[in-house]
Structure 1
Amino acid sequence: MNNVSLVGRITQAPELKLVGEERFCTKFNLAVDRYLGSTQKDEKRNEGKPTADFPRITVWGKIAENCCKYLDKGALVSITGKVSTSRFEKEDGDIVYMTEIVADRVQFLESLHSENKQ
């Protein structure tokens, strides 16, 4: 089963991009807190201290438009979606793998709507 649910803060203001003739998209990173527990042997010295992960989030369609219209850097959101991994070959022949979360739903837990976004 490929389901992801995350709560975190947006690390940069979402920007709307037109893909093709009619499809909108936005991408942003989400800062998600992670507390280190005693089961992570190598990180035992940091036990109980917070750290963060920064997964890349991709949003399509009307949801992308709403994210760009109502959200700004630092806004707290809940994301549900699926993990997607893609690969491409660089000019030098190296293969690069990219993992991102493709959001099916973005719930605004708070809005940091700035005046210049209107």
Structure 2
Amino acid sequence: MLNRVVLIGRLTWDPELRYTANGVAVTSFRLAVERPFTNQQGEREADFIDIVVWRQQAENVANYVKKGRMVAVEGRLQVRNYENQEGRKVRVAEVVADNVRFLPTGGSGGQGGNPGYEGGNGFQNDRNSSDDPFADDGKPIDISDDDLPF
């Protein structure tokens, strides 16, 4: 069986950090994910998907990401049921994130968070595009046929 979700979108509100009675961090936020097609009016629509993140990564998300920031989320879809205060049964579908990557903000970095922080792994990535080891420096690449896997 397989339950895997991969999403890229923007946060619709600042993440909400809470702690369970046992002191485990949990953060929730909603992600706006554009659909890959336009509607009849030529506009793109979006789906708004609830995300839940646990433990250290929950604290990282709450500390480094703000509303409007683009992130990539990997996780699993979870459906749960509960009874609300009016006694009605409520069904909730949400993505429980295993990994949240903070994507570049493009430009000023004013979308919140630390533009170099890659999330999930707890390390900073201070590289910029000029440090790209795969950038074209105008020289041919010396690869023999023995180095190719096919």
State how 1:1-118 maps to structure 2 within 5 Å: 1-36=2-37, 45-46=40-41, 49-90=43-84, 92-110=86-104, 112-113=112-113
Instruction: Give a deviation string over 1:49-91, Cα, whole Å, max 9, x none.
Output: 3100000000000000000111111111000000000001245
Is the Cα–Cα contact under 8 Å of residues 9 and 76 in structure 1 kept in the other structure? yes
Identity of aligned residues (%): 37
Distance 1:102 1:72 in 2: 19
Q: Which runs of 5+ in 1 are unaligned?
A: 38-42
Residue equivalent to 1:40: none
Tell me which stretches of 4 or more aligned residues in structure 1 moved more than 4 Å: none
Larger fraction in strand = 1
Report deviation, 1:105. Answer: 0.2
Is the Cα–Cα contact under 8 Å of residues 35 and 49 in structure 1 kept in the other structure? no
Larger fraction in helix = 1
Is the Cα–Cα contact under 8 Å of residues 3 and 83 in structure 1 kept in the other structure? yes
Distance 1:94 1:30 in 2: 26
Is the Cα–Cα contact under 8 Å of residues 10 and 73 in structure 1 kept in the other structure? yes
SS at match of 1:36: strand
TM normalised by structure 1 equals: 0.81
SS at match of 1:26: strand
Distance 1:91 1:107 in 2: 35
Aligned Cα root-mean-square deviation (Å): 1.9
User: Matched residue pairs, number?
Assistant: 107
Report which structure shows greater RCO (CA 8 Å, sep ≥6).
1
